[in-house]
Structure 1
């Protein structure tokens, strides 16, 4: 990221070795990526620009979620539910020994991870940035059913057919030109990742209402996997700022928006 030195680190938790990168100096901000990707995959996609966050005086830690990217994982469905992934995030904060509350950012699956961690241990967090809140509550069951069916298909026929079908699915217009990157979980753990996510949901609305943390929600339009209904409801429950992008050019501003938000005065 520019002239900043990127340091690599690992830690072990619940039988997995989790890899992360640590760049910049200043207050700590931790980022959890979306499902089926990883740090390197997101970088190849060019989806988010994190340089403004580091340039604004933040120590940014991005990690590969269990079973994704370079991090290891076992074929255990329960390891990939949002609450279990939140446990990994809290363990990462302990490993980093931040010495105080941190800013946490998460995209899609990472959004669910961050929210569950914040509901469980709000004292560990200062601000939240929720990118692309996924299907939740009333919209979650159709997604869960599709994931369960996909896991069964992979076990019967292998992962290649599922990967090919995934590449043929239409993408939101705002990211139609983003390079396609193969999912990073391997065929051994992929069914468990799918079933773990099928068993997941965002915390109940009443839990979000009780969460008194400043929050920013970033969403884009016309994406059934990340419906605006979730972003709007989450923003209302959290009393959060909400920004919706309707063009790729606007999505490219998210790094600057996040940097500006995190650099704001503390409440």
Structure 2
């Protein structure tokens, strides 16, 4: 991989790599991970998706090698989508882009495609975050509780607790389950509070999308329930949905995405 480049927007310096040749394909990670953290999970191979493509990968603002400010409003979902659109402008990518996103990255893809549908060709929505229901508000309380704990206990203690927390049942026997937060101690509370205040776009806005869309979800994760993926499948005409109930099946996602974006 080439060295990172950076672009500036709204108080953040966004680290990215854009290399290769061929039709453009992009990927955005979720909270509180990064490109490096996603690779360490060894669940799907981000890099192999770029074979024969111009591949864009980047760290969302405040994550990984990207910087940010300790301001919760900076980490509302809407702002991440504007980062993506600005990055496409910076790179002068005018050809419609295939784009995949996990969790927060799923919202980034949705929101950017709603705002600028002609900029995108195909969408891959991975582990959509909990949304739209009373249960969603209960689940999202985790973000606020975690931000409070970081400030009360200190980030080091919170990270130790995180490392020993029980994973969703689907990952109970997976030795590489390590969702290590790749956000600085100084930014973690603001990132978590901004994300906790966010939601997916309104269902009626999502229903306007006409892009071929592949939705990938896994089971037993309260912050990424299969029910959100099922609702997205209902809203997006002609979309395809696959829900995994094992790690072995999650590891088929790389091939599923590769085949989907070939069309």
Q: What is the TM-score when the length of structure 2 is the normalising length?
A: 0.93
Equivalent residues of 1:101, 1:123 under 8 A apart: yes
SS in 2 for 1:137: coil
> Given the superposition, is the C-alpha separation of residues 181 and 172 from structure 1 closer, same or farther in structure 2, using an over 3 Å criterion?
closer
> In the alignment, what sits opposite 1:235?
233
Q: Pick from 34, 44, 64 the counterpart of residue 48 of structure 1.
A: 44
Contact 1:135 1:227 in 2 (8 A): yes
- Paired position in structure 2 for 1:211: 209
Output one character per residue of 1:126-177: Cα deviation in whole Å (capped at 9) or x when no partner: 1110000111110321133221222122222211232223223322344341
Deviation at 1:60, TM superposition (A): 1.5
| Shift, 1:246, TM fit | 1.6
How far apart are residue 244 of structure 1 and its match?
A: 1.2
Please, which moves more after superposition, 95-104 or 173-182?
173-182
**Residue-by-residue CA offset, 1:94-123 (whole Å, 9 max, x unaligned):** 111112221111101111111111112212
| Structure 2 segments unaligned to the other structure (5+ residues) | none
**Structure 2 CA distance, aligned partners of 1:107 and 1:241?**
16
Aligned to 2:259: 260
Q: RMSD of the alignment, in Å?
A: 1.6
Q: Counterparts of 1:70 and 1:263 in 2: how far apart (Å)?
A: 30
- In structure 2, relative to structure 1, the CA distance for the partners of 1:179 and 1:221 (3 Å cut) is closer
Q: Is the 8 A contact 2:72 2:193 kept in 1?
A: yes
**Which SS does the other structure have where 2:110 is aligned?**
helix
Q: Which runs of 5+ in 1 are unaligned?
A: none
Residue 180 (structure 2) pairs with residue 182 (structure 1): yes
Q: After the TM superposition, which residues 129-140 of structure 1 pair with which residues of structure 2 at under 5 Å, given as runs?
A: 129-138=124-133, 139-140=135-136
Q: Which residue in the other structure is 2:97 paired with?
A: 102
TM-score, length-scaled by structure 1: 0.92
Q: How many residues align?
A: 259
Does structure 1 residue 201 correspond to structure 2 residue 195? Answer: no
**Aligned twin of 1:11:** 7
